[in-house]
Structure 1
Amino acid sequence: MKVSKAQAAQNRQDILEAAARLYREHGLAGVGVAEVTRGAGLTHGGLYRHFESKDALVREACASAFELPKAVLQDALQRASPDQARPAFVQAYLSAAHRDQPGEGCPVAALAVDVGRAGGGVAEAFTQGVKGN
């Protein structure tokens, strides 16, 4: 069954979001392609239409994992007065909500150890995420 370009783009985004969440929850080695695509509501057969390899998926998922936590922390900083920005950042980062939801949290805390062992350019993508690029 052929899907539209818009649906294909949405499927790709769904896979990336599921992978980023699952990798943060279970680690890079703790999640396979089948779990990622199931988490995106798709079958694993179509994954390789969107990504050349599992390494490519991991690279892109690591890079995209920085987007949501960055947005949440930026929101906390914007709501704070200038003199309360640093304490607001620390409070948001160290909150129980952040701790209890690793799939939505900081990829540095969740993946730093795994990234050091990963190949396939994952460390470079992760480094770029840490740098904010």
Structure 2
Amino acid sequence: MRRSKAETAETRRNIVKTAGIRFRQNGICETGLADLMESAGLTHGGFYRHFASKDQLISEASADAFAANVAEMEAAASTVKGRKALEAIADAYLSPEHRKDRAHGCPLAALGSEFARSEKSTRSVATEGILKMIAIVAERLKDPNTVRAKKSASVFVATMLGALTISRIVADPKVSSEILAATRAKLSSWE
């Protein structure tokens, strides 16, 4: 029985969404296609009807994950104006909930080292996502369209990423929470 184009597109979206979650949860290298397709409610053999390779899926799932992360940053920033928007971005990104939910969180914090070793198409997707994150922060800085704002926003994003990553690594929950809180406090007074 042939599926309609709409059903095929929906199945593909489901695979991409599931892959994004599984990659962030378990890592790209640790996520096998058979397990991924089973999680999506499909058979392993159906994979190649939708994708030419795992690398193609990695790129598409990464783009989808970055789009969700960027949308969350924009949503956090849209609730307030000016400096408070930066504080809202940092509060959302550096929250205990984000720390715990790697599967639905920032793909950089979950997969950064794997992105660095990925194919060029995936690194390009990651680069685009990073630049969008930087742009969201830069738009909320004083004189947003300047080189200074872009540089400052780059440091802001890198600081959030580093703090979230380190907070996930440390074994002591108290230290992990202190790292998030200290970074949120520092970023709330960002210039």
Fold shared, TM-score > 0.5 on shorter chain: yes
Q: Does the 8 Å CA contact 1:55/1:120 hold for their aligned counterparts? A: no
Cα deviation code 1:73-117 (max 9, x no counterpart): 211111123330001100000001111111111011111101112
Are 1:47 and 2:35 an aligned pair? no
Runs of 4+ in 1 over 4 A off after TM superposition: none
Instruction: Give the deviation of 1:57 after TM superposition.
Output: 0.8
Relative contact order: is structure 1 or structure 2 higher (C-alpha 8 Å, sep ≥ 6)? 1
| Counterpart secondary structure, 1:121 | helix
Equivalent residue for 2:3? 3
Are 1:81 and 2:81 an aligned pair? yes
Instruction: Give the deviation of 1:120 after TM superposition.
Output: 5.8
Q: Does the 8 Å CA contact 1:38/1:44 hold for their aligned counterparts? A: yes
Equivalent residue for 2:128? 128
Q: Does the 8 Å CA contact 2:16/2:60 hold for their aligned counterparts? A: yes
Equivalent residue for 2:110? 110
Distance 2:129 2:58 in 1: 13
CA RMSD of aligned residues (A): 1.6
Equivalent residue for 1:15? 15
Normalising by the residue count of structure 2, what TM-score does the alignment of the two structures yield? 0.65
Distance 1:112 1:92 in 2: 19
Give the % identical residues. Answer: 38
Cα deviation code 1:43-91 (max 9, x no counterpart): 2211111111111111111111101122122111111233300011000
Distance 1:35 1:95 in 2: 30
| Counterpart secondary structure, 2:29 | coil
Distance 2:5 2:27 in 1: 31
Distance 2:51 2:131 in 1: 24
Equivalent residue for 1:31? 31
Normalising by the residue count of structure 1, what TM-score does the alignment of the two structures yield? 0.91
Instruction: Give the deviation of 1:5 after TM superposition.
Output: 0.7
Equivalent residue for 2:180? none
| Counterpart secondary structure, 2:47 | helix
| Counterpart secondary structure, 1:114 | helix
Instruction: Give the deviation of 1:121 after TM superposition.
Output: 2.9
| Counterpart secondary structure, 1:65 | helix
Equivalent residue for 1:58? 58
Distance 1:40 1:132 in 2: 29
Give the number of the structure whose alpha-carbon radius of gyration is greater: 2
